[in-house]
Amino acid sequence: MTEMKQPLKHVELKAPIKPRKSEKKTCHKSARPTGEDVPALCKWILDRYVSSDWDNQFLERLEMVLRRDRDGNVLAEPKTFHGEAMGIAVTGPSRDGKSTLVLRVIERVLDEQFDDKGLGRNVIYHRVRSSATLKGVYTDLCTATGFTSFPARMTVPEAHNLAIHRLRLADIRIVILDEVHNLLGYDNRAVNLFLKTFLQDGGGFCLIAIGTEPLRTFVYDRSENIELAGRLLDFSLERFPRDSSLALINGALRRLVADAGLRLRSSISRDPYFADRILDGCRDSYGRSMRLISTSIVLALEEGAAVLDIEDFRRIFDLKMLHFNPENPFVLSDWATRASAVDGDGGNALRDSDFGDARKARRRGKSRKGASK
């Protein structure tokens, strides 16, 4: 998601990522499209990235495995210990934001940009396919560097040597492998050696392995992989305290709505529990919460709305998240009563009409622009 960099500060970052001692002026923030270009604005909103404490936690580990220059800036160059490099294993539930987190921090701290093949100046990013083999990963890395003329028959060791050679020619020093759990079960001993060889045997790359909980179990809970565990720093994305999550959600909601040029209907702005709805609906997942906010805003934009209301969230949740949580928190229940109790009785008490009607069909196009609450 596209972030705001000045040089390493983000919209709702409670503990801003530590800046470089000598700041670079390069900025990866794309300009906000005009309101008239709705498709471009929708893409821009979907690409936004809201930082969290995870950014700094990941950066702390990067500082352990990468060298620095004389000014203390982190370099895209691995530290070596007796000729061997180290790496990081980033693990957590699916769709919690692991990949986005890694890429955004790498882009900001190392001033990297990736092409459509995942190739940067000194970093390569590769998403392991669900049916991948080890040789397939090696050949994919070669292809990303521009080499496609493979021998008709090639062994895994030959593919490894070719991939290492191509990565060195491309001046790659950090290898990011995403969804590494897709390799598990293929041949666990071979996967262990596959990961270790990026760090040793003259490979000399910093390896960032991203995956779900099975990857963490594979690396850290299996005695036969103790050498691999010693070479990969553990970074498991632990859920934030509830108050911190709610603050992040409220901040992201306000900022993204303003960036989209929308207003909040009273079904959201006067509901003190709206962030709770989002967090509970996403089962405490920060990444899913951010995705739910952005996709709901995009729905309102695409339908020509001037306001964002609870119905946008209800529809997105019904379409995209019922498999994850069969209880839609944006269906009206006693929320209006609870919100009124917080606001106090009297003239300002909320009514059900303030919260729309989740059962009505959504109006489309210009008819939505007339809504003001």
pLDDT classification of 112: cutoffs 50, 70, 90: very high
- At 36-83, the pLDDT tens digits run 899 999 999 999 888 899 999 999 999 999 999 999 999 999 998 877
d(CA 160, CA 156) in angstroms, rounded, equals 6
Can you give the pLDDT at residue 172?
96
Pair 209, 184: CB distance under 8 Å = no
Q: Could you tell me the domains of the chain?
A: 1-52+240-373 (no CATH), 55-236 (3.40.50.300)
Q: Which residue in 371, 362, 252, 255 sits closest to 307, CA to CA? A: 371
- Given a contact cutoff of 8 angstroms between Cβ atoms, the answer to whether 123 and 62 are in contact is no
pLDDT at 323 over 70: yes
Whether 34 shows a pLDDT value over 80: the answer reads no
Question: Please, are residues 351 and 270 in contact by the beta-carbon 8 Å criterion?
Answer: no
User: Global pTM?
Assistant: 0.81
pLDDT of residue 95: 85
The pLDDT tens digits of the residues spanning 146-179 come to 999 998 889 999 999 999 999 999 999 999 999 9
- What is the average pLDDT across 119-138? 94
- The confidence score (pLDDT) of residue 200 equals 82
What is the C-alpha separation between 136 and 117, in angstroms, rounded?
A: 15
Q: Which of 43, 113, 94, 55 is nearest to 295 (CA)?
A: 43
